[in-house]
Amino acid sequence: MFHKEGHKIILISLFIVVGAIFALDAFITIEWLRKALMLVVLVFFVLILQFFRNPKRHTHANDKHALSPVDGKVVVIEEVFEKEVFKDKRIQVSVFMSPINVHVTRYPINGKVTFSKYHPGKYLVAWHPKASEENERTTVVVENESFGKVLYRQIAGALAKRIVNYAKTDDIAKQGADSGFIKFGSRVDLFLPLDAEIKVALNQKVRGGESIIAKMK
The residues annotated with a catalytic role in the active site are 186
Q: What is the DSSP string of the chain?
A: -B-GGGHHHHHHHHHHHHHHHHHHHHH---HHHHHHHHHHHHHHHHHHHHHTB---------TTEEE-SSSEEEEEEEEEEETTTT-EEEEEEEEEE-TTS--EEE-SSSEEEEEEEEE--B---TTSTTHHHHBSEEEEEEEETTTEEEEEEEEE-SS--EEEE---TTPEE-TTSEEEEEESSEEEEEEE-TTEEE---TT-EE-TTTSEEEEE-
